[in-house]
Amino acid sequence: MIVVTGGLGFIGSNIVHALNADGYDDIVVVDDFTDGTKFINIADTSIADYLDKDEFLDRLRRGDSFGGNVEAILHQGACSSTTEWNGRLVMENNFSYSREILHYCLQRKIPLIYASSAAVYGNGAAFVEERQNEAPLNVYGYSKTLFDQYVRRFLPSHQTQIVGLRYFNVYGPREQHKGSMASVAFHLRDQLVAEGVVKLFEGCDGYGNGEQRRDFVYVADVVNVIVWLMKHPGVSGIFNVGTGRSQSFNDVAQAVLHAHGHGELRYIPFPEHLKGRYQSFTEADLTRLRAAGYEGDFHTVESGVDLYMHWLQGASNTP
């Protein structure tokens, strides 16, 4: 049995699809189903059970076995909004909840692969998995930073796999429920369909219009890392997951326009509320992930966005 928290969400649902494709269907999906539209993300998958996240937490605290041998917990559930300033809400969901799962796994020697975030690096220039490089700009980033620090206390003496994955800017299928937190590729495509134009922020932090750079990583590549880690239980630690190369927002916009064969790019004023709280540059250092043995390739923006645009076109044509 494999437990996937956040299994109705973006990365979680893609994990469920990948596990099915790999022959796994004894999967327990855990999530908050308040947004019922998320059902579409796993409607075409095979799973063994669904648990509300609060029920799952109660059963963790009781030491429940969940009716079988838990092979791994893939913890993807979180409050992922970088603009949420209710610290109590964010810490309950991202730190306290994760801590409960960690101790459950440590006590029972169950492998744990959990979602961290590149938000831990803030506006830093060094994207290496070291404490001195962590300077989050918001409560979300802080919650992820704090849990990574907590996990580090157990890594030297752990007796089972513990992996934290610092996702960079992930985009791809099944993110439509994320609203404002969906990827720039998703939003640009919506703008293009609705208005015939795509819009990017004007320059900031010394970057020209649309030239801010991020490490944009296709969700299938992220899932490939997770599946590889499940098959290599001797690998533990905190790892960046990105492509290892930054590309500009202009690159994303041009890839969206190219996939559709029409449209115009416009620049809009940089929002006041994001000044000083915006990552204008990210680029994953993959040294540790490669040293751990992962040799998989990562899509460029051009190839990944093209795949995504075609997937979205197919999804929009589905009754």
Distance, CA of 199 to CA of 224 (rounded, Å): 31
53 is catalytic: no
140 is catalytic: yes
Distance, CA of 240 to CA of 252 (rounded, Å): 21
Catalytic residue among 140, 167, 171, 218: 140
3-state secondary structure 278-305: CCCECCCCCHHHHHCCCCCCCCCHHHHH
Using a 10 angstrom Cβ sphere, with 0-12 exposed, 13-18 middle and 19 or more buried, the burial of residue 239 is buried
**Distance from the Cα of residue 167 to its chain's centroid:** 5
Return the CA Rg of the chain. Answer: 19
Distance, CA of 125 to CA of 35 (rounded, Å): 37
Catalytic residue among 178, 199, 267, 294: 178
Distance, CA of 175 to CA of 11 (rounded, Å): 8
Report residue 307 as tokens.
């795949």
Active site residues: 140, 178
